[in-house]
Amino acid sequence: MDYFSYQDDALFAEDCDVAQLAKVHGTPLYIYSRATLERHWHAFNNAVAEHPHLICYAVKANSNLAVLNVLARLGSGFDIVSGGELSRVLKAGGDPQKVVFSGVGKTIAEMEQALQVGIYCFNVESSAELEQLNDVAGRLGKVAPVSLRINPDVDAGTHPYISTGLKENKFGIAMDEADTVFARAAALPHLHVKGVDCHIGSQLTELKPFLDAMDRMLALIDRLASQGIVIEHFDVGGGLGVTYNGETPPHPDAYAAALLERLGGRPLKLIFEPGRAIAANAGIFVTQVLSLKENSDKRFAIVDGAMNDLIRPSLYSAWQNIIPVQQTDAATYAYDIVGPVCETGDFLGKDRQLAVKAGDLLAVRSSGAYGFVMSSNYNSRPRVAEVMVDGDKDVVVRQRETIEQLWQGEHLLP
């Protein structure tokens, strides 16, 4: 199957009846394909097969335990950004020694948790964090393995909200401070400097920003070597884009080959942190049309899924393909696909040519990454169920929330 095409194709094959799944499990509903998750992970892993490397799936993209477990069984590593994500990885059978801990604001408790379980590496994002981690490790009688996340100041050419490698972004240590902070890290007694890392943004569809970042990072690694600071690994971050609407991001083969060529024989282990490239097109979001509505010259398809279930269209004006699950004989019109949430910005798609009527099912494609994980209970809407298709079986990997669960942990005044 072509990596560029919608990899949720597996979910529309004859042996996966999306309409039947919606009937059994209700809507709105997330559906994931195990086969596609595995294929995407292998596409990455095979792309760098000969070179020492570790694929650390970015848990934030989709942290469902079953998703993590599928990848853990393949031997995947994990990129986490919180103690909660670390707990999920462990619960799902992930190996702590294959975990890298990214994130611009780690708490002392999270540092302790990660040191206790023995993660592979902390991706440290500031001088202050470096000092804190050294103190925490010293107090626990441990040595913390660290990599420094350096901000290479390259324009990733993506949406400003998901660009992370520019000088003005909050992430990482500025390149012009990198040498000093590395020298400090090497001098601190409770740290072991292992690596260098960067992550310039998400949904990148061109190679050039990755290569520009790599050139700057390799120049740093060479400078550090001349100062006697030996770097064992280079973590290139995540960010490889997917096809939402005709984009043609590089195949992992081309991406890895280009990076390896730039590496030029340096004996550095490479770490990759892909999230979206593995999960996005392994999932769909299924919603049912509640009613059709016309306001002056505008037509709306009001559906039972909303921005609280899938926020990417509202938050980033992200375009995701929306298709009818079954053909109907309704006339085709341009619709805004909107949810029941009380916000004008509550839409899943705008101006989509669709033949639909009330009761029909729509699938929002490419929803496996940054879908359920970004959902909320806004408007007191229970979180939806997640189902994984595993060959000819389908497994509920998260139950739909009940109304009672909505107020669990809340208390009336005495």
Ligand X SMILES: N[C@@H](CCCC[NH3+])C(=O)O
Residue 244 annotated as lining a ligand binding site: no
Nearer to ligand X, 231 or 318 (CB): 318
Confirm whether 198 is a catalytic residue: no
CB 42 within 8 A of CB 74: yes
CB 395 within 8 A of CB 386: no
Of 29, 134, 8, 149, the closest CA to residue 81 belongs to 149
* Interface with ligand X, residue 370, by CB under 6 A: yes
Nearer to ligand PLP, 45 or 202 (CB): 202
Query: How many Å apart are CA 4 and CA 26, to the nearest integer?
Result: 30
Residue 343 annotated as lining a ligand binding site: yes
Residue 370 annotated as lining a ligand binding site: yes
CB of 243 to ligand X, least distance (A): 14
Taken in order 2, 5, 11, 15, the sign of the CA dihedral is: negative
Residue 383 annotated as lining a ligand binding site: no
Nearer to ligand PLP, 58 or 337 (CB): 58
Residue 345 annotated as lining a ligand binding site: no
* Interface with ligand X, residue 106, by CB under 6 A: no
The active-site residue, picked from 16, 56, 121, 342, is 342
CB of 72 to ligand PLP, least distance (A): 17
CB of 158 to ligand PLP, least distance (A): 9
Question: Could you tell which of ligand PLP, ligand X, none binds residue 239, using a CB distance below 5 to 8 A set by kind?
Answer: ligand PLP
* Interface with ligand X, residue 57, by CB under 6 A: no
Residue 50 annotated as lining a ligand binding site: no
Question: Could you tell which of ligand X, ligand PLP, none binds residue 114, using a CB distance below 5 to 8 A set by kind?
Answer: none
CB 283 within 8 A of CB 367: yes
Q: Count of residues binding ligand X (CB under 6 A)?
A: 8
Provide the token pair at 375.
């959902």
Question: Could you tell which of ligand X, ligand PLP, none binds residue 312, using a CB distance below 5 to 8 A set by kind?
Answer: ligand X
Provide the token pair at 321.
């393909």
CB of 133 to ligand X, least distance (A): 21
Query: How many Å apart are CA 234 and CA 194, to the nearest integer?
Result: 9
Residues 135-194 that bind ligand X (CB under 6 A): 162, 164
Residue 6 annotated as lining a ligand binding site: no
Which residues lie near ligand PLP (CB under 6 A)? 58, 61, 79, 102, 164, 199, 202, 237-240, 273-277
* Interface with ligand X, residue 69, by CB under 6 A: no
Binding mask 276-315 for ligand X (x = CB under 6 A): ------------------------------------x---
Question: Could you tell which of ligand PLP, ligand X, none binds residue 79, using a CB distance below 5 to 8 A set by kind?
Answer: ligand PLP
Binding residues for pyridoxal 5'-phosphate: 239, 273-276, 370
Contact positions vs ligand X (CB under 6 A): 60, 162, 164, 202-203, 312, 316, 370
Binding residues for substrate: 276, 312, 316, 343, 370
Active site residues: 342
Binding residues: 239, 273-276, 312, 316, 343, 370
